[in-house]
Chains A and B, each alone.
Chain A
Amino acid sequence: MAKVIFQRPKYLKENVFHYCPGCGHSIAHRLIAEVIEEMGIRGITIGVPPAGCAVLAYNYFDLDMIEAQHGRGPALATGLKRTLPDRFVFSYQGDGDLAAIGIAESFHAANRGENITVFFINNAVYGMTGGQMAPTTILEQRTTTTPAGRHKTLDGYPVKVCELLSQLPGVAYAQRCTLTSPAQVNKTKKAIRKAFQCQKDALGFSIVEILSPCPTNWKMSPIDACKWIDEVMSKEFPLDVFKDITPAAQKNTEAV
């Protein structure tokens, strides 16, 4: 009998993703579903989808899901977690959702050290509404509202969410990863797992930022989009661990 070595994660529904070919959302969904399966936390996990391309995430995750208004995920998740502290609660957000309209909610949930996890999909544009400039758009990047490229004096600078939030004492874990190669995908999966583990250990707010391709709005092929992340975007947004207060990480720093 043939041995199954790869299959659809148990908690991803059979539905076909509506995401564009080469979009990072699909991979991120898959990784989250795999981790939930491996940690055996399916019945006790609640997801909060955003306004953004992932607005229909509830069509894919076979979990309890409650939709947040644009940017309000961490506030909604706060209410869920405070009343159901034994559940795993995650908010899934784009860069417009988290870093523009919802920066206040993100900042304050992090500052309160809410014991929730945020999966932050940074694709440097507002994907869903047609590729307008996001707070994470890099300088000189052309978007539909910065046709001549993002200009620092007119449009400000790219917002570095992990760097910013990791300053807050309430944050337990902040890591930036990407999805541009199998090795990066595996790293991202580990980060997702660690974030859920932080929640399990009640350490506080955890965030995994994922640099994610949006070939459609970047007007690139999926392969070129990955290249752009590796060669350009990750220079602006370094792949790193910005905060990690898990006991294992603390031990490592002590050893150094």
Chain B
Amino acid sequence: MGKRVGLEVTVAVAEAVALCRIDMAGGYPITPQSHIAEHLSNLVADGVLDAEFVTVESEHSAMSAVIGASATGARSYTATASQGLLLMNELLPIASAMRLPICMAIANRAVSGPLNILNDHSDIMPQRDTGWITLFAENGQEAVDLSIQAFKIAEHKDVMLPVCVNIDGFQLTHMVEPVEMPTQEEVDKFLPPFAPHATLHPAKPVTMGAFAMSDYFAEIMKAKDEAIKNSKKVILEVWDEWGKMFGRNYKAVESYRAQDAEILMLTMGSMGETAQVAIDELRDKGIKAGLVKLRLWRPFPFEEIRAALKNAKKLIVTDRACSFGGPGGPVFSEIKSALYAGDHHPAIYNFIYGLGGRDVPVQDFTGMFEKVIADTDNKAKDTYEFWGVRE
């Protein structure tokens, strides 16, 4: 079994990726991701990791380079954040359309403007529809585990899609946390060498990224949608295998003290741990509060969400990004549409919070609960509120 060590989360993630024996990494620096790329470059320079590490001139080139590498059958990795992810945006749907199992860490950071380097989810949310499997880590251990699982999911022959692991910038990336690092033997056992479906090889020429007009385009879009929907089965299998091997169990949706809860809160990412403390405080006061945490953003786990929320009278959905002029935060609108198809419709409230790195202490979470408890008409709310924002 692996050793429990104290590591900065970015360094732990780079170590985990190295254990996956990647063949190629390309990167362009951006805070708060840069330590991942730096540590990978150290591991390559030290001879610990036998891989190409390329310092390209932009994130756009980083993603293009890993697309090229992946097309040759190389296990390929990159990491970015914020503006860098936005610059990659053009390539993200290409990677998924070409069914290339690239893996990427996103050290979530607010998108400009105004320019900001701290955490929220405004970078990943606009990438929602690019066809990438999208996972969220809540703590350092999850960041490590998901980074390894990502390759196994991406490369599964029934999936063959890129995967991104979201790690909240600073709040998670720059924490030194105790993590259990699997050993090389364990990772080798868990993650077999990459066996690509098709590669560019002179002996068997193929065309990748071909042109498609109205005659085929829609079919290709549908195929991508089916592929990502079908990936859930593989994701759950991979988590099951991981749980058996390492004793750490993963689910698409996690619940905390939610069984008999009348009011549930839903979080995604690192805020879940603070919210958990708030739940304990509320429970001590006799309030039946519970927490639901979303780990799998794409493919969206509709059934799991409906099951997790089925007893709630009131539901608080929290968002770390806005959909300006839209229906509330992006998580909120997804949850609402998941519930619409079911027969249980709790009164639902949306708070948009922690934008651009604004600190969210426990009292903020308890404050949200108090506000929702005080609202007695219990009607489903169709509005959202920017929590703790000066007028």
Contacts and interface: CB of A to CB of B under 8 A. Distances in A.
B38 A145 contact: yes
Interface in B42-61: 42, 45-46, 53-55, 57-58
A164 B18 CA distance: 38
Contacts of B115: 51, 55, 67
Given A144-B38, A155-B55, A132 B83 contact: no
Given A69-B112, A70-B83, A146 B55 contact: yes
Interface stretch (B27-35, B141-149, B245-253, B364-372): B27-35
A126 interface: yes
B41 interface: yes
Contact of A132 (B42, B55, B58, B87): B55
A76 B262 CA distance: 53
A135 interface: yes
Interface size class of A (residues with CB under 8 A): 20 to 34
Contacts of A155: 55
Interface residues of B, number: 23
B133 interface: no
A12 interface: no
Contact of B29 (A103, A126, A147, A154): A126
Given A101-B28, A101-B58, A155-B55, A145 B112 contact: no
B37 A145 contact: yes
A100 interface: yes
Nearest to A70: B83
Contacts of B113: 67
Interface string A140-165: 00001111100000110000000000
A71 interface: yes
A4 to B, nearest CB: 37
A161 B59 CA distance: 21
A191 to B, nearest CB: 27
Contact of B45 (A55, A132, A135, A148): A148
Contacts of B29: 96, 126, 129-130, 132, 145
Given A135-B57, A145-B27, A145-B55, 10 more contacts: A100-B28, A129-B29, A129-B30, A129-B31, A130-B31, A130-B34, A133-B55, A145-B41, A145-B53, A146-B55
Interface of B: 27-31, 34-35, 37-38, 41-42, 45-46, 53-55, 57-58, 83, 87, 112-113, 115
Interface of A: 51, 55, 67, 69-71, 96, 100-101, 103, 126, 128-130, 132-133, 135, 144-148, 154-155
The 5 A-B residue pairs whose C-beta atoms are closest, nearest first, are A129-B29, A100-B57, A101-B58, A148-B45, A147-B45
12 contacts: A51-B115, A69-B83, A69-B112, A103-B57, A129-B29, A129-B30, A129-B34, A130-B31, A130-B35, A132-B34, A144-B34, A155-B55
